[in-house]
Amino acid sequence: MASPSTSSHRRTLLLGTSSGRDAIRRISIAVLALFIVTVVGTVGYIVLGFGPLDALYQTVTTVATVGFREVQPLSHAGQVFTMVLIILGVGTVLYNLGVLVEAVTEGHLREYLWRSRMDRDISHLRDHVIVCGHGRVGRSATRQLVETGHLVVVVDSDPAKLEGLTEPHVLGDASRDDTLHEAGIDRARALICALGTDAETVYATLSARALRPDLVIISRARTLDSKEKLVLAGATRAVNPQLIGGRRMASFALYADVAEFLDEVMHEDDLDFRIEQVRLGEHSPLAGRSVGEVDVPALSGCQLLAVRQPRKGAFLPNPAPDTAIEAGSTLIVFGSPEQVGALRTSAAG
């Protein structure tokens, strides 16, 4: 059974996501009611002998209570009809004003329009990265992706964690298919899952893998035991931040210069050279040749650090000239963005 705090959070989440739609629904009902009153009044005056334009004019002036004279003298039936129309019309107009003021002052209309615009922006995204969970790990991943020029959509079920976020985001449960579809999983390049618990992360990973069998999914494991479960659930790679942090600290203690160099080439935006990966497609002109024949430094200026054979084979660091490069292989290179771009162009043919 859910705790009271959990139930309260779910109610808050439900209200937060539906308030804008409720405001639009109330405005639509109010406008429809005003339209019906106008039609009924016009038809009524036509029955009483008014022309169509005079009937519409009489209805509008009556409902608006502007106090103009009658278009033509009213019979007793016309006077009774006008009194009823005034009561209905004034009530409908006041209801319209009340609904509009409430929607504007409480921000529901603004929220709905902003949410609609964000949904439209997300629907236009391609090759973006979905970050599920905007806690400490999720925020750090989002910041790194944005700083390196990548498009990001953040998903979280806690409105407080999304407050003030300028990147496109979706408020919802990351394990639900509709939430992932709303985040554009069909067009995403990768998904990073860093939810509050390993159980939530496993469910979200399962859902994402079922929707996109080819998607790169990186899941955060809170414990070492959960890494294997996340891989079985469909994660491309399961990462334990504590383990990685500990290893990096040990590397800085033992090999400070090497660790700092790798840290800079992977994460420093001002550095002109970076370590990148270039994957060869099935029809790449470089596939089926040897490392010596390709001659990556002469071709692009990049330094070839390693080759990874298809289907996640072992890395071959500092490969020999006779090492074969197959279609689907990944080249790990070191070079400037221009040099890496030139190699990608050559690899694509």
Q: Give the closest residue to 204 by CA, choosing from 187, 188, 223, 191.
A: 191
pTM of the model: 0.60
Largest Cα–Cα separation, the chain: 106
| DSSP notation for 78-113 | HHHHHHHHHHHHHHHHHHHHHHHHHHHHTSHHHHHH
Domain covering 126-239 in this structure, CATH number: 3.40.50.720
Fold of the domain spanning 272-348: Alpha-Beta Plaits (3.30.70)
- Ordered by start, the domain boundaries in the chain are 14-111, 126-239, 272-348
Residuewise pLDDT in 10s, the chain (349 residues): 344 443 333 333 333 445 556 767 777 888 888 888 889 888 888 888 888 888 888 888 888 777 677 777 888 888 888 888 888 888 887 777 777 776 666 555 566 666 677 788 888 899 999 999 999 999 999 998 998 888 999 999 998 898 888 889 998 999 999 999 999 999 999 999 999 899 999 999 999 999 999 999 999 998 878 888 899 999 999 998 888 888 888 988 888 888 888 877 776 666 678 888 898 888 888 888 999 998 999 888 999 999 988 866 788 899 999 988 888 889 999 988 889 999 999 888 7
Fold of the domain spanning 14-111: Helix Hairpins (1.10.287)
Structure tokens at 117: 């615009």
Spatial separation of the C-alpha atoms in residues 242 and 221, rounded to whole Å: 9
Q: Give the closest residue to 62 by CA, choosing from 95, 90, 40.
A: 90
Q: Do domains 14-111 and 126-239 have the same CATH topology?
A: no
Look at residue 15 in the predicted model and tell me its pLDDT: 38
